[in-house]
Structure 1
């Protein structure tokens, strides 16, 4: 039996050492002198000092009271911290602002140490902080703030460096050290992907600095800091890494949307004009229309219609272009008549308002001979993910950077399919010769619970899988899967809510459910049109609630 990594009290230290070894092996050429020295000095530390530093790095904040650091495996904290103080990685005399001070004090301690400055003992903590700040409370060491408390405060000075190491390992700063623990506990299981020398997202020191820079700009934007300096800094950034350029494009797109919301349309246009992120061109057309620049909007819209970026853009342009032509004095253009879709109208009693409308329709239509499942986007995506597992998790350069990825980094890139065209073709070939049923069932058993960007394990069951493979024609699966690959971001959503099977006849019907006052969304309309085009059975069910006792 394999030993549980969490049985070792220094499990967290083992994980940190694993990261350092990974970085030493794969990022030695881009580590700064400071980072390399940190790794070398860390390896030379006594184990209690290593453990204490990692405990502090993995906790929230930068300031830690001596009495709050209690770890049986580390032992005496004063002994463990001494080497860290000597290296300057921890200090005792850091100056704390009032905000930082309040983060490490309890309310009774604030009254004891600062009551003479804040007054109003029954006020809220936020009011005390404001009172202290109003008195121009300058940063000073903990002991100067709180001489009544005979306690030492340790402040971490290497958190920024450790964050950069974490960034190099994960390729982002939203994943943290808890990933290791969740994997050790078996809560998250990741596909084992072979890593090559090219398997890293940050290829140079400039890439690392740019990634940190973009993260800082995002934080400033999220904190509602002034936009002009943020926009100028993001525009000035020069990148030759496509992965980072996409991140920069996404931030520019978010900044543009924000400028739209606050009515700064000139800035929004400027941002969208220099942005390659999907959807920026359509937003620019909408802004031009909004400010009355109909001719420019029409010119850009007609050019976009010649080569739409996505089905979503094509659908939006079909509404926008006739409207712009009318505003410019052109003749009215008749709207395309929506195709007829099978319609179901139900009046159902709503016994429990907390239950969804989909639940009521499922319960009403369900029959042992014709079971109904609430699947929404989960079933088609899962079948695709199981069949195409080898293509999705192919160890291509620039796809996987570390062992804790749910899917490839380039999943939403325009060339995702092209880079794996032969692999996907091999998977789709199984739909032609019938092997797909056995392959999907085998992968369902072998890969159960492994993280995937497509497979919804919680929504799958053996019964649902068997009914789907028996009743869904391979031709329809091939159409659905091909559409997914055309635009993964847009097309893995919007699928009908329910699916009903007739196992005896090996047929099915998909059902989109709409409650009172609800209407079809754009992505749902696109799926309905696609199903109609390929003669797939689909219906829209409109529900009205029946009055109780009527």
Structure 2
């Protein structure tokens, strides 16, 4: 397995270099590239989805082919731009002759539309803010608005108060016609909603890579099925990228929504109901939210229905909630629904005062760790266990998703959809139903770790680096999978993977932060700090892991100043200010434990480029001085050893840390340490000084700085500041 890990690490470096190489540099495009792209696109759609196109799309294709070349160019130019409404006076392209004639041709063929009531808001949005304000000033009472308002607010007001039939809309404004037909064909091609054709342009510029059409196309049985899926995908897109006006329009039209005809549209309908229900609740419209939630039978919607009806505090609602909760407990649709129902029922009908999540948090073990890790609590707990000699890994969702994706790779990526997207059958909950014999056969293999690891390694070697929505490529991921499979209780991993196969959306996240291997067993730790709550999916995952035989525990972290925590105070000198572009010329570092200096590190470095004269004037480091100095790669391991498990400290820490980590990245190594900034800490703990530069602080506190802008001297001075900072932190902690 070690040789396999080495192979994957090599592949990982190769893949990263290839991804960051020059193969995708932007390039100049031929004159009519956009029209050629469009014609290839509609030819692919016609060939791959002819049976799904329907009358509108087929009519679009036939009539577009009949347009003159210049009119085709004008329409595709419109489709490449943002929005649907355009000012033709600002629409100029040298390669298109006589644009006014093209607008006339497009209008006659319904590829360009006049601005009517449905597009009135789009027209308002297309106006520059000064023109919008002028329109409102001429048409409305000026006391209704202020010119300083943001444009979106002005658009909402104008749309509410102005009558499209009476508003003066200059003839030069036109709208892109046949939008629905084009967007529907883009949906069939990409498998998602696209507002325009910019994805093709970005591909041709070399800025993105698009899979082949065959791997993106969606699979539907009938036109009606495809159109229904398109309706719900577009509604979700409009909600996410639109305004409150768009959300309100969707809520008011719920009675006209089509009945879902496939797994994809069913999943999207449920998601849309959840989104619109939450939006209605945030607006204080509980009744609309309740009507929406009752249209879906998902665990989330069922929970919201119970909570809303209970909050109305009426006898009939209380009786209904009691019966509904009892039904959910007896026959839950998921573990999360069962957890909610049991918890809510116990608190409301058995007079239990706290939730299951609160009970778990109150029973958690508390660890007091150094507050320098305040922004990295999971990493702090990880270091704590490693220091005790326990094998510990960052976990969360990644190892579970990686194992799931690798174990079922060929079943998930069967060629019907792009690997970059989660398969619709997985999102819709149909994956287990469709492949249950194959899934159970592979889950049974988990009881033979050496056999299943060999299968996983073969899949990993065959597909490493491929874009996909499930597996996060990385050598350490294999280490975590191996540790999980080898040390898990019998049947435990299979139990969780089966749940993921049966209900991906309900089990894809919420896994605990850390995985420990202790006494030959794997156990999981969820890390929380003061004020953190235990989310519903996290509580459900802890329950599922416990039921599968995994020991689980919550650790609450309290912060203090650890006097024995080692720090390395670093200063670097460079050839300029941008990491990666400019290079290091010197590193100076001071290691401190308990406020005392225990070791020092200093070296000049050959930056492999000339040092600018103005830098030499600041640092007194010349090109001759670094000519014989070592390269960074030659001292990298020595400096890493010097750092050990210390906290990285510096004055304006992001500068020094950024350069050090960039140098390690150049040699395909990661440099990760918690960091503390002596400048920011001095501002917080010693307020009121005119300047917090290293030089001025040293003058204020009489700290020696005889060789300013030489790395070791500056590091020694910053170490004195760190000593003051930690003394102040410890004093404050004792007082509190």
TMscore range, shorter length: 0.7 to 0.9
Q: What residue is the counterpart of 2:43 in the other structure? A: 21
Structure 2 distance, partners of 1:209, 1:358, is 44
Which deviates more from structure 2 when the two are superposed, residues 356-365 or residues 201-210?
201-210
142 and 454 in structure 1: CA distance in 2 versus 1, 3 angstrom threshold: same
In structure 2, runs of 5+ residues without a counterpart are 1-22, 562-725, 731-736
Does residue 100 in structure 1 map to residue 100 in structure 2? no
39 and 520 in structure 1: CA distance in 2 versus 1, 3 angstrom threshold: same
Alpha-carbon shift at residue 191 of structure 1 (Å): 9.6
Q: What residue is the counterpart of 2:479 in the other structure? A: 466
SS at match of 1:481: helix
1:126-150 residue CA offsets vs partner (Å, 9 max, x unmatched): 699789998989544547xxxxxxx
Structure 1 distance, partners of 2:138, 2:362, is 74
Structure 1 length-normalised TM: 0.75
Q: Counterparts in 2 of 1:177-326, with a 5 A limit?
A: 177-180=197-200, 185=206, 187=208, 200-201=219-220, 203-205=222-224, 208=227, 211-212=230-231, 215=234, 219=238, 223-224=243-244, 233-239=253-259, 241-243=261-263, 244-258=265-279, 260=281, 267-290=288-311, 291-292=313-314, 293-326=317-350
Q: Counterparts in 2 of 1:146-545, with a 5 A limit?
A: 155-173=175-193, 177-180=197-200, 185=206, 187=208, 200-201=219-220, 203-205=222-224, 208=227, 211-212=230-231, 215=234, 219=238, 223-224=243-244, 233-239=253-259, 241-243=261-263, 244-258=265-279, 260=281, 267-290=288-311, 291-292=313-314, 293-326=317-350, 345-351=366-372, 355-366=375-386, 372-394=392-414, 400=416, 403=418, 406-433=421-448, 434-457=450-473, 461-466=474-479, 468-470=481-483, 472-473=485-486, 475=490, 476-500=492-516, 508-545=522-559
Structure 1 distance, partners of 2:225, 2:213, is 29
Alpha-carbon shift at residue 321 of structure 1 (Å): 2.3
Asked if structure 2 preserves the Cα contact closer than 8 Å seen for 1:91 and 1:155, the reply is yes
Asked if structure 1 preserves the Cα contact closer than 8 Å seen for 2:445 and 2:452, the reply is yes
Q: What residue is the counterpart of 2:63 in the other structure? A: 41
Which deviates more from structure 2 when the two are superposed, residues 292-301 or residues 380-389?
292-301
168 and 85 in structure 1: CA distance in 2 versus 1, 3 angstrom threshold: farther
Alpha-carbon shift at residue 453 of structure 1 (Å): 3.5
Which deviates more from structure 2 when the two are superposed, residues 432-441 or residues 483-492?
432-441
In structure 1, runs of 5+ residues without a counterpart are 144-151
Alpha-carbon shift at residue 62 of structure 1 (Å): 2.8
171 and 278 in structure 1: CA distance in 2 versus 1, 3 angstrom threshold: farther
Structure 2 length-normalised TM: 0.58
SS at match of 2:41: helix
Q: What residue is the counterpart of 1:147 in the other structure? A: none
Between 1 and 2, higher relative CO (CA 8 Å, sep ≥ 6) is seen in 1
Asked if structure 2 preserves the Cα contact closer than 8 Å seen for 1:65 and 1:154, the reply is yes
Counting matched residue pairs gives 520
RMSD: 5.0
Asked if structure 2 preserves the Cα contact closer than 8 Å seen for 1:499 and 1:508, the reply is yes
SS at match of 1:513: strand
Structure 1 distance, partners of 2:42, 2:446, is 44
Alpha-carbon shift at residue 440 of structure 1 (Å): 2.5
Asked if structure 1 preserves the Cα contact closer than 8 Å seen for 2:515 and 2:523, the reply is yes
Asked if structure 2 preserves the Cα contact closer than 8 Å seen for 1:494 and 1:527, the reply is yes
Asked if structure 2 preserves the Cα contact closer than 8 Å seen for 1:390 and 1:423, the reply is no
